[in-house]
Amino acid sequence: MAPDVIIIGGGLHGCSAALHLARRGATVLVLEKDYVGRHASGVNAGGVRRLGRDLAEIPLSVASMELWHRIGDLVDDDCGFEGHGHLKIAESEAELETLKARVAAVRALGFTHEALVDRRQLRELLPAVADHCTGGIWCEGDGAAQPYRTTLAFRRAAERAGAVVSEGVHVTGLRRENARWQVATADGGAHLAAAVVNCAGAWADRLAAALGEPVPLIPSAFMLMISDRRAPFIKPVVGATSRPLSFKQFANGTVMIGGGYKGALDRETNWTELDFRGLAQSAQTVADLFPVMRSAQIVRAWAGIEARMPDDIPVIGPSSTEAGVFHAFGFSGHGFQLGPISGAIIAELVTTGRTNLPIEPFRITRF
Amino acid sequence: MFRRLVEPERASVRLMVDGRPVTAAPGDSVAAALLAASVVACRTTPVSGTPRAPYCMMGICFDCLVTVDGVGNRQGCLTRVREGMVVATQQGKREVGR
Amino acid sequence: MTDLAHLKDQYDLAVVGAGPAGLAAATLGARFGLTTVLFDEQATPGGQIYRAVTETPLRERALLGEDYWQGAKLADGFIKGSAQYVPGATVWSISHDREIGVSAGGKARLLTARHVILATGALERPFPITGWTLPGVMTCGAAQILLKSSGLGPDGKVVLAGTGPLLWLLAAQYRRAGVRIEAMLETTPRRNWLAALPYLPKFLQSRYAAKGRALLREVKASTRIERGVGAVAARGDGRLREVAYRVGRGREIRLEADALLLHQGVVPNINLASAIGCKHHWDETQLCFTPEIDEWGRSSIPGVSIAGDGGGIAGAEAATESGRLAALDAAWQLGKIDDFARDRHAGPYREALAAALYGRRFLDLLYRPAVRFRHPAGDTLVCRCEEVTAEQVLDAVKGGAVGPNQLKAFLRCGMGPCQGRLCGLTVTELIAKARKVAPDEIGYYRLRPPVKPITVAELASIPQSDAARKAVVRG
């Protein structure tokens, strides 16, 4: 029996789409070329934030956050989610002005999750922060979760709802067969379905190109580092204003350091290579903002393979060239928090043809 | 726990371990000096507070971690003793800033 | 204190590790006119097998034995040569383009080499028994290092346990040094003799036979040896107090003990090679992952060669020759010598290598560690750094962790500072057994640089280029 929907890509977005579709009664098959959570979904910084998002993403992010706060109900696993808040730090008066303008812009849209904090309030929230920091944006209720565990939880919930997940299956082609789609795989298989969802992450551009709607996707290897165990000294997740930084301490005391620095990668072999000059700049940022971290040991560093779009927001929506095909990819390093909602949006689109959330800015034709 | 089988040829090195003076031989690693001074455990683990001592003596087990001259998590087996060195055994999670 | 600032930005040849393979490689590379740098973590040359050979307080040659003193010649040749020596330095990263990340004296920097030879040697196979983390329990190698570099021997009641030549060598050295051993608990499975027997004739003709026989005689004459030991446990309250063991399935025997020295063979130290991306395969005889290298030591990454025990356990003499062959190949690859010169020089090294390898298979098969000492159960610790037990590992496998990398998402197994050096093989074997799949299919931890921890301050101290500063993209 051919499934109703084939989802290409078993990352968080693919598994989330599988779950929401299965709960709506669709028969779903997920085809994953490596294993579930192998790439960006399983190895990212785990940030669950509304703070600092592109204005277009905010409605989706706010809706997704509601799902995060009930994640146990959604996937029967708390995913390690902890909501100790997010802080974006200003290191000068000029940066604080930028942040002030940002908060005003967000409030003008009717959203109140971002609040400006001054020097004193910053130090109440982050006692260990360096003296030169002038304030920041505070977002209560934001937090972090465990990426691989979360992806696996969505997978399992989808399977309990009847979805089938096949790993080690590499999709090589897509062809329309009358009213249905035929998905060809490297093992010689051919799978038919009424609808196809492209959640292929850093490889999604190939499918898009095959559909006649090429996109300028940039495969990117975002680098992360983790420290040894430190006595607890910071609760919220921290970012900076004009330097890339994502900084959080886990319950076990280890500190994760991320940001925008990229390594090199090879999409064919899944190989990533770290760029230590970039990591050195990351380390410098950490040392500048939290001097007590200078003696922390970096125990491990890694980079996942992620898809970046030139405007740093994802592609979400129906195909512009073919009926029955839908896209959810290109989350540009901040898709983890959007995982719960992206699947819901896709499920709505596939089954009803429309969605309540404003996804116009994410249309595939915008490039 | 360990004893000298030969007398060191060169002048001994004096260091402080947890506030008490310890004598070592010039070629000793800090880990060797601790074992020779009958220090049973050089640290307790951050996970469970269990005592540990050097296990491999070649820099791969990370059980010989001690604080040397104020810098924490130094591998004692890869650190050569120096006159006046201050060594502290480590308890549990490392305090940030040391 | 070693100062990295004076190093060149680029060398023809970078060698990592100052054991026999590294010393031989760096010495020869420099002789062929390659600008050569040798990095090593220790303060003096020799690696582990020739540890402290230039400064050991144990001057009486008979104590450590003549094999050890071979290292002095190698070290001497190296020091007199023109390779740049950087002791006290930790190489924590090497990229595909051979950009090397190295730390010394609290600072780090990057530099490149046109060719790299990894000579990172071996480490002791994990020996996960009850109580193996107790103070008072250490490896035979560790005890031997204390002996060589500081002239220290264990006080009180000493028990040795395990299998392999090092056990016998250490026992002999202790006897010569006047260290009393309560017992040697020999865990070699009796059935190993069946597998090893066909290779006995070759062994008897090799250089290892006479040495081995002499060692065995010396130790047997003075030490109580229990053979066929099937279980060993270390017990105590915060420190070792007693060792419990069984001969076969016999009743438990307890020995009061202050020191328990464990050894069941050595395995290649693969963390750096793995982090670079060199291909490895599972060796079913030696029960470990070994890099895939050709007869010149070339790995699967162009420009990166592996020499010595790090490329497959074969002992110090084989390591020396494989180091020379790798350096020869590097000199040829970099155009310093032609095919003819390379092959001419290689001849004697290959002969010496063959002689060094001759007869070893017998030892590999005889001293292959027993399953029960490789597959712990219950609350025996598998991961020492993060204190993860065998039972927790097996539960995680039941819960869906299909391999060592998925395991990391359930448990912190393998995520401590040792980067799996003391738990990786155990984990691979446990998962393989639980899933009834070959270890090669299960694979190993996905290792990435830094292969040893570096501080935030060290990392931040890496000099930047302006281009790198401008290349920052906001995420």
What letter would DSSP give residue A151?
Answer: H
Query: Could you tell me where the DSSP H helices lie in A204-337?
Result: 204-210, 276-289
User: In this predicted structure, which of A354-358, C248-252, C309-313 has the lowest mean pLDDT?
Assistant: C248-252
Coil vs helix vs strand at C121: coil
Q: Tell me which of A277, A289, A308, A313 to substitute to probe the interface with C (most C C-beta atoms closer than 10 Å).
A: A277
User: Which pLDDT belongs to residue B97?
Assistant: 53
Query: Could you tell me where the DSSP H helices lie in A131-275?
Result: 147-160, 204-210
The residue type of C358 is: Y
With a cut of 90, say whether residue B10 has pLDDT above it: no
Mean pLDDT of chain C: 95
With a cut of 60, say whether residue A161 has pLDDT above it: yes
Cα C327 to the chain's mean position, in Å?
21
* Mean pLDDT of all residues in A283-290: 96
Q: Tell me which of A298, A312, A336 to substitute to probe the interface with C (most C C-beta atoms closer than 10 Å).
A: A298
pLDDT digits (tens, 9 = 90+) for C147-199: 999 999 999 999 999 999 999 999 999 999 999 999 999 999 999 999 999 99
> How far B60 CA sits from the closest chain A CA (Å)?
13
Among the listed residues C329, A97, C131, A226, the one whose alpha carbon sits nearest the alpha carbon of residue C321: C329
With a cut of 80, say whether residue C386 has pLDDT above it: yes
User: Which pLDDT belongs to residue A260?
Assistant: 83
- Of all residues in chain A, the percent with pLDDT exceeding 70 is 100
Asked if C240 and C234 touch (Cβ cutoff 8 Å), the reply is yes
With a cut of 90, say whether residue C465 has pLDDT above it: no
User: Which pLDDT belongs to residue A259?
Assistant: 81
> How far B54 CA sits from the closest chain C CA (Å)?
7
* Mean pLDDT of all residues in C350-367: 97
User: Which pLDDT belongs to residue C474?
Assistant: 38
User: Which pLDDT belongs to residue B93?
Assistant: 63
* pTM confidence score: 0.95
With a cut of 90, say whether residue C44 has pLDDT above it: yes
Distance CA C200, CA C193 (A): 9
Pick B47's closest partner by Cβ from C141, C179, C386: C386
With a cut of 50, say whether residue C366 has pLDDT above it: yes
Q: Which two tokens stand for residue C202?
A: 């070759």
With a cut of 60, say whether residue C475 has pLDDT above it: no
Any B CB within 8 A of A164 CB: no
Contacts of C410 (CB under 8 A, 6+ apart): A149, C396, C399, C400, C401
With a cut of 60, say whether residue C1 has pLDDT above it: no
Count Cβ atoms below 10 Å from residue A92 Cβ, excluding itself.
14
Pick A287's closest partner by Cβ from C412, C456, C462: C456
Residue with tokens 């004598």: B23
Distance CA C397, CA C379 (A): 16
pLDDT digits (tens, 9 = 90+) for A188-234: 999 999 999 999 999 999 999 999 999 999 999 999 999 999 989 99
User: Which pLDDT belongs to residue C305?
Assistant: 98
Any A CB within 8 A of C461 CB: yes
Count Cβ atoms below 10 Å from residue C206 Cβ, excluding itself.
20
pLDDT digits (tens, 9 = 90+) for B46-65: 999 999 999 999 999 999 99
Q: Which residues of C touch A227 (CB under 8 A)?
A: 456
User: Which pLDDT belongs to residue C244?
Assistant: 98
Q: Do B32 and C142 touch (CB under 8 A)?
A: no
Q: Do A299 and C417 touch (CB under 8 A)?
A: yes
With a cut of 80, say whether residue B95 has pLDDT above it: no
Contacts of C288 (CB under 8 A, 6+ apart): C125, C267, C268, C282, C313, C425
3-state helix, strand, coil in chain B (%, to 5): 10, 35, 55
Which chain B residue has the Cα nearest residue A231? B95
Distance CA A121, CA B7 (A): 62
User: Which pLDDT belongs to residue A125?
Assistant: 96
What letter would DSSP give residue C298?
Answer: B
Q: Do A231 and B73 touch (CB under 8 A)?
A: no
Q: How far is CA C34 from CA A124, C113, C174, C297, C365, in A?
A: 58, 11, 42, 18, 40
Q: Which residues of C touch A222 (CB under 8 A)?
A: 475
pLDDT digits (tens, 9 = 90+) for C327-353: 999 999 999 999 999 999 999 999 999
Q: Do B52 and C416 touch (CB under 8 A)?
A: no
With a cut of 60, say whether residue A74 has pLDDT above it: yes
User: Which pLDDT belongs to residue A295?
Assistant: 93
Residues C319-342, buried b or exposed e (16+ Cβ, 10 A)?
A: bbbbbbbbbbbbbbbbebbeeeeb
With a cut of 50, say whether residue C235 has pLDDT above it: yes
pLDDT digits (tens, 9 = 90+) for C81-121: 999 999 999 999 999 999 999 999 999 999 999 999 999 99
Mean pLDDT of chain A: 96
With a cut of 70, say whether residue A351 has pLDDT above it: yes
